[in-house]
Structure 1
Amino acid sequence: MKKITCALVLFFMLLISFATNAQGILQSKDLSTIKVDYLSQEDLVKIATQLKSNNMTIDQAEPMAISKGMSQDEFDKLKMKLKDLSVTADSGNNVNQLKNNKTEFVGRNQDKITNNKVKDSANALIFGSELFDNPTLNFEPDLKLATPVNYILGPGDELQVSVYGVQEYNSSIPVSVEGKITIQYVGQIAVSGITVEAATQKIKSAIAKVYSTVRSGQSQVSVSLSGIRTIKITVVGGKQPGNYSVSSLATVYNALHLAGGPGKNGSYRNIELIRNNKVYKNVDIYRFLVKGDQSDNVSLKENDVIRIPAYSQRVTVQGEVKRPGIFEMKKGETFSDLLNFASGFNEFAYTASVSVTQKTGKEFKVHDINESEFSTYNPQSGDVFKVTKILSRYENRIKIEGAVFRPDYYSFTEGMRIADLITRAEGLKEDAYSKRARVIRLKSDLTTEILNIDLGAALSGDLNSNIELKREDIVTVYSILDFREEYKVTIDGEVKNPGVYKFVENLTLNDLIIQVGGLTGAASKRVEIARMVKSDVINDADPKRIELVQLEISTDNNEQVKKFLLNPFDVINIRRIAVYEKPQMVTISGAVTYPGKYVLANKKEKVYDIVMRAGGLTSISNVEGMKIKRPIKQDEIDKIESIDLNLSKNDSLIEKLAETKFSTIPINWEKIEKDKNHYSNVTLFPGDEIEVAVYNEGVKVSGNVLLTSEIPYRSGKGFKYYINAVGGVNNKGWKKKAYIIYPNGKADVTKSFLFFRSYPTVEPDSQIVVPEKPETKKMSTGEWVSIGSVITSLALLIVTAFK
């Protein structure tokens, strides 16, 4: 018993020594007990970290390790493992990254498997092809699921082995190529070819032999799959056949998706999974597409072969089915199965029979499949099924319209009569015309005929009138309102809403005035009503076309005392009172004492009156610069537009008038002060604006001159002086057409007679404008040659004539 106790004490001291030496190899005094093969990856990382913190390489640490008892073989092993670790560290997998990966990613590691998919647009109609063209549907295994207990381990897998409780141990251990894992202090355990569940029991038993607390139950062992191996499989007959590296958890559908599914002529219903040179499973993709059954989606193993043979039978379904396309059929399947693959008829399909185009050895033939044959007809390869639409007609429809409470279509039954249909339509309306009803009937040759019946007699039980109806009959019940002319009355003048209104019986003038919103404030008491004259006899002696009725109403109240009855088509005019004008205003601005808006006191208010009402001119006013700006009304523009002025498109007078919006009237104030009847003292209109300019001693020069400027006015200086003062005209300036605009809006132009030219007088605050020369087209060389030829010909004719 003492020997066993001593052995256990030595064993635990050895474990502690291993851990201590791994954590502080530089500080340890005895390294003779170190076994490098038992050091975990984390222990090696700690040793590398210690060397790095002491700025020491492994070669520099060799003399120190040998002097502390480490054998040369163990040091060489340590050196090799640290070199391997440095390669891993260079790729970014240090201790912190390992920890972060374990905490941030909950699941398993697996090499990323990618495949460049090719869209098969040529075979898009083949049922099932969309399953493999969709990149979001790839059937990849979920690596975050719990460890499958039936998963078969193999080389390349990685197990996470943890001991927790009194004793702790945690390590990620790969399965070697020999199919074994190596656990520190426990040794090697063969796990290849067995399930995870069996491997867990085997690992627990091996650890329990070393860890006493596991054997006693004070510590527990957990085994999980942390890394999944990659296996090689082969796909034959796919769109992208070849060898593929897939996860060991991958399934048949995952591999088929990577290969792009069956090729152009590949089968979707007889795919073979070959394992160990034998057909392990026949895969029918239609079971998944139609029923969602994934029983064929089995897991793959190393060196599995997925063989996609050529299809045996394909047929085409066109027309009114929910999923038209090309479908693959197995032997013994019927048209009902095919209809199930196409998800059945849609709501517009003609289901009594289906037309199928078949291929014989020499030509095509057409066959009709009746509804009773759907479950027995076996489609043949190449068949094309066409499902047509139902006819746009009804087998039991009848219609009633007009003066009934529920006009609509109704179902027809044999023996139905007029009275039955009217009863189903909730009966006749009050305005129904009972003397006659109409039946439009479709004859056997698709022509129509009209039957007229006595509706009142039909409803009273007369069988001659209460006739039997037929399918597609249209019964029309007339309304007495249909035979009445729609009467109107017209009201115009001083009412709020003049217009044409519907006439009703006993309509009075008072009713109509209320209906149109009442009278306006300008309404007079005079009302004129024009009434239509009706007579069966033409009286040439009476020239009257209408009858005029004159009335007087009370304008202060819409409710009239006398009630005047109106007739159909009466035209009522409410006259305007003789004097009813709202105050109209004009504006005066500039150098007057009180500028602003002024109301026209009378219809003949003149310029002098408004200027005097505005306090007269100020001391800084320019009496030569008074003018009136009068708005151009739209009706004036319309009148000019209606006259053909024969102007070019570039000289659009209408556009210029619309842009200016005002016309200018010059005012000679000095003449007005002397004579109030002078023509300049014009009568003002509403909206006019009188502008009184402030005295300005400058003269503006603009247009095609070298410098647009304002030159101080000098008495006695003429037109040329001011043009020369701004540098003269430029190369485009047309000096002889220069003109001047005076302050009051009046203009004057340069005049010429023979070789003499007279320029207008310049006054202060005037504006001289030099226009641009019009563009002239120069004659080409050919035109000059043509003119020369004509002159030469004329000269020859003259010479010849005088000989």
Structure 2
Amino acid sequence: MRKIITVVILFLALLQTNTLLAQDLLKSSDLSTVKVDNLSDAEIANIKAQLQSNNTTIEQVEPMALAKGMSASEFAKLKLRLAANAAASGVKNDSESSTQKYGRTQEKIVNTKVKDSLNSLVFGSELFDNPTLNFEPDLKLATPMNYILGPGDELQVSVYGVQEYNANIPVSVEGKVSIQYVGQIAVAGMSIEAATQKIKAAMARVYSTIGSGQSQVSVSLGRIRTIRVTIIGSKQPGNYSISSLATVYNALFLGGGPGKNESYRNIELIRNNKIYTKVDIYKFLVNGDQSENVGLKDNDVIRIPAYEQRVKVEGQVKRPGIFEMKAGETFSDLLSFASGFNEFAYTASVNVLQKTGKEFKVQDIKASEFNSYKPQSGDVFRVTKILNRFENRIKIEGAVFRPDMYSFYEGMRISDLIAKAEGLKEDAYSKRARIIRLKSDLTKEIVNVNLEKALEGDVEADIPLLKEDIVTVYSILDFVEEYKITIDGEIKKPGVYDYQEGLTLNDLLVQAGGLTGSASKRVEVARMIMSEEIDDANPNKAELFNIEITPDNNEQAVNFSLYPFDVVNIRKMAVYEKPEMVSISGAVHYAGKYVLASKKAKVYDIVKRAGGLTSGANIEGVKIKRPIQAKQIEAVESIDLNLGTKDSIQNKLEKKLKEDLKYAIIPVDWKSIVKDENSNTNVTLFPGDEIEVAAFNEGVKVTGNVLLTSEIPYDKGKGFRYYLDAVGGVDAKGWKKKAYIIYPNGKADVASSFLFFRNYPKVTPGSQIIVPEKPEVKKMSTGEFVSIAGVLASLAGVIIAILR
């Protein structure tokens, strides 16, 4: 009985422990018997709610749970259960995840940025127009020790060690925090560091282990209060509720920055009705200095007065725009605001357009005056480009080793410039060089120099140079004509080649890749005729040389010398034809490819070499498929049918030949050939021809615009119409009058008419009957019919009038 009671008590204790864990994870004193697997999903959700209400995470309470006896394995299970519960309940928003991760919250402040297009040129305006730029305080940072507490803040007070305590305590409107068993402690107006010491001292009177060091006290900022500031003179003036950690720049950003005519450099922070400090945004923009970006307090006023001086900088500076100037600042300060001159700026002086009481005036500021000139309100500074010219440039080009631009100095001569260019090249023409010189009126003149004498020390020839001179040293190769030579015919690489002195026929043959196998021994060289006088008695335009060579040897015994512009033709052998083939397929004994052994090989010869027709061959189904040659298509293209450019008949014909028809069909009457080999149907074969011998087929195929495409068994006594009727006749689009038949040998025939009689072609076994489609006929519209009727009526009226 005692054992039963003991088990019941242990079970109730375990159940109570899990219940306590579910009720308050942070306040349970003993977690050693906790079994996470026994907790329900509702209890896990309760633990999660406890953590959220205390602004803590499961990682933050891990040391406390382990100190209260909870095993590491059970705590790991608890973390997994909580993570699974979070995934099931959905993804938190950014502010919630930030609260869980960092344990600190702040009211979200939203401000819509408005682009100030009227003030876009003012330096600094872009700082407050950019929605991606923000001066919002970072809640991830550690609690600042100099932070001054006030009503609305919330403190996280924790005692850990032998004794445990954890609570989030708001600062009341009276500026006090109320701690359980300790009482109220005034903290308003104190820094977080001073408040920590005061809270620790007060809690030490209740928690004895704090004084002995067995327990520790931690005070941090949980929720940051919101303060109200007023902004005057901004683009969006008004009262703003912002973080107590916010600074002047944060408030200015929320207010959209200074307004259209307000200052960027004399912004006043008014606290307790006195100017606490002045803010110059240019310090931050130019130097990144945030020393004036002070923190704000409740009821602070930011006043942005109107600007006193603004000037404009245009032209060749790195950051042109409108700038605000303070009293005593010089043009050098303005130049630093504009980030200085760019690389193309004329820096010797700057032009400034000034405004007087009555009119404008222009003033030039020299470089020596940059540090003393004080810009006036309304000044417009114009920084121009440097001139596109050189003060000491000279150039040499042509047959020198280093043609380039060089620096010029007074007294420089032609020999000095050539020495700078490391001398003349071997092909330099030393008798004459050219100098293109710019005269004082900017027109150009040419000065000729004898380089040979100048380099030998002749003072008169070695003339002085002037800046911007362009010296050209000629090359003797510039005066040499570019000679070519042509080779064609039975050579591997025919074409046009450069001619060099001493070139021979052997050299050219090797350069052109050597002779082909079909080259004959005959070579013809055509050479142009050169003469100072016209010889009317000589009709020849070129001189011809006939040379015999050994085709199988590129190195000829007689090495013929070539001249410029010679044309060499390598002739082909009189008889040099590679074996060419035709093919035969179908009902023959030995189908395949056969070489044309005779120039006049005919169909009967190839069929005979193929072993003749088989017993199953259709003697009326012999035909030849002949590939359509490119020259046949060219012949069609060259014919003008005078159909007009918009007519597509010829275009369709050319397209059909190129893309659709690859072969021309030649019908063969085998019976006539067997009777007489000299029959005109025993045609001579061409290379590439294909002879097809069809197998005997007793069926007749009917296709096209018929009700049923089918193959009907051949009936000797039946005619053309029988086979059309056998497939159900023609369909709605069928053109029966134009039906035609294709015989097995490729020959075709069409129905014909005589008076009221229609003759249909004879049908043979293996034939194919085709019914084409009727062409579309455009019906006459009502309007067209009325027009024609009107014309006929008018004609009738004219005829009647004539007859009267």
Q: Which moved more, 1:616-625 or 1:215-224?
A: 215-224
Question: 1:45, 1:691 → 2: CA distance?
Answer: 105
Pick from 442, 447, 452 the counterpart of residue 443 of structure 2: 447
Residue number in structure 1 paired with 2:34: none
1:261 equivalenced with 2:257 (yes/no) = yes
Task: Give the conservation status (yes or no) of the 8 Å contact 1:107–1:145.
Answer: no
Residue number in structure 2 paired with 1:512: 508
Distance apart, 1:738 and its partner CA: 2.3
Question: 1:355, 1:570 → 2: CA distance?
Answer: 71
Task: Give the conservation status (yes or no) of the 8 Å contact 2:705–2:733.
Answer: yes
Pick from 382, 386, 399 the counterpart of residue 403 of structure 1: 399
Distance apart, 1:584 and its partner CA: 2.2
What SS does the corresponding residue of 1:769 show, helix, strand or coil?
strand
| TM-score calculated relative to the size of structure 1 | 0.85
Structure 1 residues 775 and 204: alpha-carbon distance in aligned structure 2, compared to 1, 3 A threshold: closer
1:376 equivalenced with 2:376 (yes/no) = no
Task: Give the conservation status (yes or no) of the 8 Å contact 1:45–1:95.
Answer: no
Task: Give the share of equivalent positions with the same residue, in percent.
Answer: 71
- Report how many aligned residue pairs link the two structures: 729
Q: Deviations over 1:153-200 (max 9, x none)?
A: 112222233334443433332222211122232222111101112112
Question: 2:555, 2:745 → 1: CA distance?
Answer: 57
Residue 375 of structure 2 aligns to which amino acid in structure 1? P
Task: Give the conservation status (yes or no) of the 8 Å contact 2:234–2:258.
Answer: yes
Residue number in structure 2 paired with 1:551: 547
Q: Deviations over 1:263-304 (max 9, x none)?
A: 222321111111111111111111001001001111111111
Q: Which moved more, 1:420-429 or 1:266-275?
A: 266-275
Structure 1 residues 793 and 396: alpha-carbon distance in aligned structure 2, compared to 1, 3 A threshold: same
Pick from 123, 135, 139 the counterpart of residue 139 of structure 1: 135
Residue number in structure 2 paired with 1:585: 581
Distance apart, 1:457 and its partner CA: 1.4
1:675 equivalenced with 2:676 (yes/no) = yes
Task: Give the conservation status (yes or no) of the 8 Å contact 2:519–2:571.
Answer: yes
Structure 1 residues 547 and 800: alpha-carbon distance in aligned structure 2, compared to 1, 3 A threshold: closer
Question: 2:353, 2:114 → 1: CA distance?
Answer: 33
Q: Which moved more, 1:237-246 or 1:471-480?
A: 237-246
1:100 equivalenced with 2:18 (yes/no) = no
| TM-score calculated relative to the size of structure 2 | 0.85
Structure 1 residues 794 and 40: alpha-carbon distance in aligned structure 2, compared to 1, 3 A threshold: closer
Pick from 479, 485, 488 the counterpart of residue 489 of structure 1: 485
Residue number in structure 1 paired with 2:536: 540
Distance apart, 1:41 and its partner CA: 11
Residue 321 of structure 1 aligns to which amino acid in structure 2? V
Task: Give the conservation status (yes or no) of the 8 Å contact 2:25–2:47.
Answer: no
Residue number in structure 2 paired with 1:476: 472
Question: 2:749, 2:578 → 1: CA distance?
Answer: 40
The aligned runs of 1:614-633 (5 Å cut-off) are 614-633=610-629
Residue number in structure 1 paired with 2:496: 500
Question: 1:628, 1:142 → 2: CA distance?
Answer: 92
Structure 1 residues 801 and 236: alpha-carbon distance in aligned structure 2, compared to 1, 3 A threshold: closer
Residue 347 of structure 1 aligns to which amino acid in structure 2? E
Residue number in structure 2 paired with 1:701: 702
Distance apart, 1:107 and its partner CA: 5.1
What SS does the corresponding residue of 1:293 show, helix, strand or coil?
coil
Q: Which moved more, 1:390-399 or 1:645-654?
A: 645-654
What SS does the corresponding residue of 2:625 show, helix, strand or coil?
strand
1:735 equivalenced with 2:731 (yes/no) = no
Structure 1 residues 386 and 628: alpha-carbon distance in aligned structure 2, compared to 1, 3 A threshold: farther
The aligned runs of 1:105-254 (5 Å cut-off) are 105-106=101-102, 108-254=104-250
1:756 equivalenced with 2:712 (yes/no) = no
What SS does the corresponding residue of 1:423 show, helix, strand or coil?
helix
Pick from 635, 638, 648 the counterpart of residue 639 of structure 1: 635
Once superposed, what is the RMSD of the aligned Cα atoms?
2.9
Pick from 341, 347, 350 the counterpart of residue 343 of structure 2: 347
Question: 1:582, 1:738 → 2: CA distance?
Answer: 46
Q: Deviations over 1:491-533 (max 9, x none)?
A: 1122221111111122222222222222222222222222222
Residue number in structure 2 paired with 1:649: 648
Task: Give the conservation status (yes or no) of the 8 Å contact 1:491–1:500.
Answer: yes
Residue 269 of structure 2 aligns to which amino acid in structure 1? L
Task: Give the conservation status (yes or no) of the 8 Å contact 1:586–1:688.
Answer: yes
Question: 1:172, 1:708 → 2: CA distance?
Answer: 92
What SS does the corresponding residue of 2:102 show, helix, strand or coil?
coil
Question: 1:698, 1:626 → 2: CA distance?
Answer: 17
Structure 1 residues 744 and 312: alpha-carbon distance in aligned structure 2, compared to 1, 3 A threshold: farther
Question: 2:655, 2:245 → 1: CA distance?
Answer: 83
Residue 657 of structure 2 aligns to which amino acid in structure 1? L
Structure 1 residues 281 and 755: alpha-carbon distance in aligned structure 2, compared to 1, 3 A threshold: same
Q: Which moved more, 1:494-503 or 1:358-367?
A: 358-367
Q: Deviations over 1:711-744 (max 9, x none)?
A: 3322232222222333333343332222222222
1:775 equivalenced with 2:776 (yes/no) = yes
Residue 636 of structure 2 aligns to which amino acid in structure 1? I
What SS does the corresponding residue of 1:94 show, helix, strand or coil?
helix
Task: Give the conservation status (yes or no) of the 8 Å contact 1:620–1:695.
Answer: yes
Residue 535 of structure 1 aligns to which amino acid in structure 2? S
Task: Give the conservation status (yes or no) of the 8 Å contact 2:266–2:280.
Answer: yes
Distance apart, 1:761 and its partner CA: 1.7
Question: 2:139, 2:783 → 1: CA distance?
Answer: 90
Residue number in structure 1 paired with 2:688: 687
Structure 1 residues 650 and 208: alpha-carbon distance in aligned structure 2, compared to 1, 3 A threshold: same
Distance apart, 1:44 and its partner CA: 11
Question: 1:373, 1:721 → 2: CA distance?
Answer: 116
Q: Which moved more, 1:286-295 or 1:499-508?
A: 499-508
What SS does the corresponding residue of 2:576 show, helix, strand or coil?
coil
Q: Deviations over 1:24-58 (max 9, x none)?
A: 9x99xxxxxxxxxxx99955999xxxxxxxxxxxx
1:419 equivalenced with 2:415 (yes/no) = yes
Residue number in structure 1 paired with 2:85: none
Task: Give the conservation status (yes or no) of the 8 Å contact 2:25–2:50.
Answer: no
Q: Deviations over 1:46-94 (max 9, x none)?
A: 9xxxxxxxxxxxxxxxxxxxxxxxxxxxxxxxxxxxxxxxxxx999843
Task: Give the conservation status (yes or no) of the 8 Å contact 1:107–1:143.
Answer: no
Structure 1: stretches of 5+ with no match in the other structure: 1-19, 28-38, 47-88
Residue 100 of structure 1 aligns to which amino acid in structure 2? T
Task: Give the conservation status (yes or no) of the 8 Å contact 1:418–1:468.
Answer: yes
Structure 1 residues 238 and 650: alpha-carbon distance in aligned structure 2, compared to 1, 3 A threshold: farther
What SS does the corresponding residue of 2:332 show, helix, strand or coil?
helix
Q: Deviations over 1:374-413 (max 9, x none)?
A: 2233333333333222222222111111111111111111
Question: 1:460, 1:367 → 2: CA distance?
Answer: 56
Task: Give the conservation status (yes or no) of the 8 Å contact 2:399–2:475.
Answer: yes
Structure 1 residues 232 and 45: alpha-carbon distance in aligned structure 2, compared to 1, 3 A threshold: farther
Task: Give the conservation status (yes or no) of the 8 Å contact 2:352–2:381.
Answer: yes
Q: Which moved more, 1:96-105 or 1:219-228?
A: 96-105
Residue 143 of structure 1 aligns to which amino acid in structure 2? L
Distance apart, 1:425 and its partner CA: 0.7
Question: 1:582, 1:195 → 2: CA distance?
Answer: 108
Residue 751 of structure 2 aligns to which amino acid in structure 1? T
Pick from 316, 325, 330 the counterpart of residue 329 of structure 1: 325
Distance apart, 1:786 and its partner CA: 4.8
Question: 1:317, 1:504 → 2: CA distance?
Answer: 66
Residue number in structure 2 paired with 1:76: none
1:270 equivalenced with 2:266 (yes/no) = yes
Residue number in structure 2 paired with 1:70: none
